[in-house]
A and B are shown apart, each in its own frame.
Chain A
Amino acid sequence: MDWQDFLSVLPFIIVAGWATILLLVDLWIPANRKGITAGLAVLGLIAAIAAVISRFGIEREAFDGMIIVDGFSSFLQLLFLGVGVIAIAQAYDYLRRRDIERGEYYILLLYSLSGMLLMASAGDLIVVFLAVELLSIPLYVLAAFAIPKADSEESALKYFLLGAFASGFLVYGIALVFGSTGTTALSGMVAAIESAETTPILLLVGSGMILVGLGFKVAAVPFHMWTPDVYQGAPTSVTSFMAVGAKAGGFAALLRIFISALPGAAVMWMPLTMWIAALTMAWGNIAAISQTNIKRMLAYSSIAHAGYIFMALPAAATPEVAPEAVRAALFYLVTYAITNLGAWGVVLAMEKAEGSGLEIEDYSGLGKKRPALALAMALFMLSLTGIPPTVGFMGKFYLFQVVIDANLIWLALVGVVTSLISAYYYLRVIVVMYMRDGEPEVRSEALLNSTIFITAFGTFFFGILPGFLLKMINQVSLLDLFR
């Protein structure tokens, strides 16, 4: 234990500490100038980004293995912090428009982000549990941020009850795995399983329950029931953050626990994850077809994408493919984050002050009225489908290749077929925007427009030149640490 340990969690300390300071500072910021809080929050995030970058490439365990700093954690932390900056920029004008502008929004967002940062570098199941809760509890409050609006209330209650239920499963699973291996440290679990000093039945039930708990968090079928309602009811800026951040956080934990700590138990979780992936892809895409509300449609789309990322887990059960599977999952998380933030940004621009303007029909005529915005939305829809030259294509290509390498050809086929199905409802948005006549009411807010521009640029740029991203991901070495 030395001061280096504190440097290892510096990004987390910055974000969580800054949130606590802001909580007090915000009390003396007048109600009509909450932009100051937003600006200060972004400053804190930039400081945290600097902290991550300055220590990029360092690999070490801190606090007796409770915290792991490696390429995997640094990469994910950068992703989370970037998502945080964009989420704050998207929220600023939206909150004023819906008349729910309060400084606590940004503070809760920072707290939730700090949970994600902790999740990325968790090296112990205790820290995983703590991070999941730190990530979720502020999100429950954020979902309720538009109270007394009835749909926000309902969304928050559903999210809270099912989220708490899921964390019950998660922590029970953790307790059973602890009982089976006699340790909560991820590195210790690898050793315990290799030396066969475990109780297999407890390990089987325990890892299954962890899968259920985290499956709820990432909205995988059959634990997805809450997603459409919560995403629809929550304020749209919260949904945008939730859909990207919470999901990426859940997958950070899934990848870390199952691929780096439980590879010895792969026989047990491989069939489970395989079926979850297949079901999630199929059901998410099929249910999305019948949706008329764009928020619900994107909610089902996010379920479907959880299925695609889930494919990395059964693929990683084959040890030779595992490092590549982790990289493919990370790449897909980035593509998902960029594209989805952009798509939700367009939804934010189209939403009216009273919370209407969310039907897909409301998008008719957008191509004529705001060509740039319509083009961006078209790009995001193509990327979500997985059509070149967008980043979504690269992500799917990489992921399917890994799945085929792991000899799971039927799973890759399910992925391809469901992607084809998804083309129907994604392209319908494009058709409505360009082929139908209408007079859409669109907002033009500087911050929101710039986030849409940045994400659209990213979607296109990484679609034709993914080299930079791939190079960065290739440095990720999740597995080296325990070998």
Chain B
Amino acid sequence: MSAHPLAGAIAGAARIVSGAHVTWLDSPPEPGQTVYFANHTSHLDFIVLWSSLPAALREQTRPIAAQDYWERGLRRVLAVDVFNALLVRRRHSAGSDSGNAGEARETIAEIAAAMGEHTSLIIFPEGTRGTGEEVAPFKSGLYYLCREKPGLRLVPAYIHNMNRILPKGEFLPVPVISQVTFGAPMSAGPAESKAEFLTRARDAVCRLKPE
């Protein structure tokens, strides 16, 4: 799969706007199927994270986006045509053990199938954009994905300052310098409970926060 020509241009522009400073803290980027998961404060998060990856890894990496938000008009062109996003249905009860859990797992199974053996993903497990002060508790999709694909390699990342560049509800950016920090790869333990895993994954992201 080769990237849409616009994708490279948009990523380049986003990197100039965000001035993203990329650090791989514990190990250099590796090829091979990976799920990159990060905190979420801005629409630019995906583009900045994606453009932080080496070009070779970018081509195999797709974002996951909420269908209800991204399926119409220009947003759809951007998400689907340019960045080849996997659109998923969002459920507001995701993460609870209510009756919808089965439906949620069905979606996860679809994602796992779409990933195949080579496609990497970018996921924002908070589910929605936050203010940048706190990382919200993670939704359970990441956990179920690891159950669908045992041994799946996960790489945490912290995207710093994007909430200052383009916060929720704004469409004019302020060109503060951002930072993307990637942490050590991890995976879900075979016996790890959902709550344990999601807490550990969230801690892995929070630990990368600069200060």
Same assembly: no
Please list the residues of chain B having a beta carbon within 8 angstroms of any beta carbon in chain A.
Answer: none
